[in-house]
Structure 1
Amino acid sequence: MAQLEQFTTSVGSVDAVVSRMRALDAALPARDGVAVFNRVYLAVTQEVERRLAAGQFTDPRAAAALDVRFAERYLAAVDAATEDRRPPACWRPLLQLRRHPGVRPLQFALAGINAHIGHDLALAVVDACHTLGCEPADLEDEFDRVGELLVALEERIREDLMPGPDLLQLADPLTHLLGSWSLERARDATWSTARALWALRRFEDVAEEFTERLDAAVGLAGRMLLTPLPD
């Protein structure tokens, strides 16, 4: 993965995040599983950037901080794979199966969303609270607005990447597999997780164990979403 090495610098603004994602998009083969997710996430981040510029967030500074801290966790996972370091368990299924011919683009996209929402977003809320010196409740409006963007985008992803109407039968393995996961439910669980992690911040050993178990559980769900399917 030497072609990614030039994109391992740290990020610090929404514009820098967008630039890194565009660079990844240009560097990776279109069918690569990370590239599939990256295109999805780039679209979300560009929309956040547009809404920030249009003044559509109640607290632009908080929204930007949450967006950047959120993106940093995805980009750090890509960096870890690039540098042959061990990425978080939630990202390992996508990074390991990114070129598997039996996994369809829609699976790659949703597996990335699962890792990013189910694990990274809760930790990003805590990161942003530390950055801004605030409580999770102070970020709830921004969390909800970003979440609404993601839910709307998930619907579009399913429409764009589903193989075709002939495969939308209930007996189809892809339909069955994807029907078992919901971004909206994952987002709701993430908010509760973020609040719990914030409450545990003074109990480092408990918070670390909680985070490790969350990471493993989200990784297991990702592995199931990436089950190779017959043609």
Structure 2
Amino acid sequence: MAQLEHFTTPVDAVLSRMRALDAELPERDGVAVFNRVYLTVTGEVDRRLDSGEFPDPRAAATLDVRFAERYLAAVDTAARDRRPPACWRPLFQLRRHPGVRPLQFALAGINAHVGHDLALAVVDACRSLGCEPADLEDEFDRVGDLLVALEEQVREDLMPGPDLLQLADPLTHLLGSWSLERARDATWATARALWALRHCEDVAEEFTERLDAAVGFAGRMLLTPLGDRPVADRAP
């Protein structure tokens, strides 16, 4: 089995950076909301790496780090007042909008990171490890299963009230328009396509740009300002 020791420090470095962001960002900032979610995911991946739950910890650690680097690069780009990838722009543009709810921020970040970054991270990891996407499928599935489980928890934790959303609340309909499981399935197909196109740079670049734009469009829809819940739906 591959040894993990040489990959512990990069995962720890990613966790340290996310913890620093958690400490410095205002609690209600949209990026902070997503960062807390992603910090939980990365911490759980790190725990499972340490406990030997990944069959190939070297591949899992590499994919995890390459994945996180794309989110952190978007944060750094926005902090320098430059334009992050299109998939991330809605979250950074609307991060302080009072009409956008925390659950929307969390799902918009997951949409950007899974819908765009994860496919590119698979390609990055394959290049780093000298392998094919098929060699990372097990690690991809395990990380994806963790994300799906966490998304369910996020929806429960960030629901706007102690009860299930009412049909009158527009957030009910917005949540039904996006699925992490469907996004994950599409991402795996995208990663395989990008790997197949790696020797056709112009085509691969255009494909990636269109993916970025499409994911950004979905993110903008997820961040549609909704304001408060209808008065009739609020707890007394």
| Alignment TM-score > 0.5, same fold | yes
**AA of the residue aligned to 1:216:** A
Q: Structure 2 CA distance, aligned partners of 1:165 and 1:39?
A: 21
In the TM superposition, what is the alpha-carbon distance from 1:169 to its structure 2 partner? 1.8
In the TM superposition, what is the alpha-carbon distance from 1:15 to its structure 2 partner? 0.4
- Indicate which of 65, 68, 89 corresponds to 1:68: 65
In the TM superposition, what is the alpha-carbon distance from 1:170 to its structure 2 partner? 2.3
In the TM superposition, what is the alpha-carbon distance from 1:168 to its structure 2 partner? 1.0
SS at match of 1:88: coil
Deviations 1:77-116 (A, max 9, x none): 0000011121000000000000000000000000000000
In the TM superposition, what is the alpha-carbon distance from 1:166 to its structure 2 partner? 5.5
On the 8 A contact 1:197/1:207 being kept in 2, the answer is yes
On the 8 A contact 1:167/1:175 being kept in 2, the answer is no
Structure 1 residue runs of 4+, over 2 Å off?
none
- Indicate which of 40, 43, 50 corresponds to 1:43: 40
Q: Structure 2 CA distance, aligned partners of 1:84 and 1:94?
A: 14
Aligned counterpart, 1:178: 175
Aligned counterpart, 1:7: none
Mapping for residues 25-174 of structure 1, pairs under 5 Å = 25-165=22-162, 168-174=165-171
Aligned counterpart, 1:198: 195
**AA of the residue aligned to 1:144:** D
Aligned counterpart, 1:189: 186
**AA of the residue aligned to 1:201:** R
Deviations 1:18-66 (A, max 9, x none): 0000000000000000000000000000000000000000100000000
Instruction: Work out which of the two has the higher radius of gyration on C-alpha atoms and give 1 or 2.
Output: 2
State the percentage of identical aligned residues: 87
Give the structure-1-normalised TM-score.
Answer: 0.94
Q: How many residues matched?
A: 220
Deviations 1:108-147 (A, max 9, x none): 0000000000000000000000000000000000000000
**AA of the residue aligned to 1:117:** V
RMSD: 0.9
- Indicate which of 218, 221, 228 corresponds to 1:221: 218
Specify every segment of 5 or more residues in structure 1 that has no aligned partner in the other structure, as ranges: 1-11
In the TM superposition, what is the alpha-carbon distance from 1:167 to its structure 2 partner? 6.2
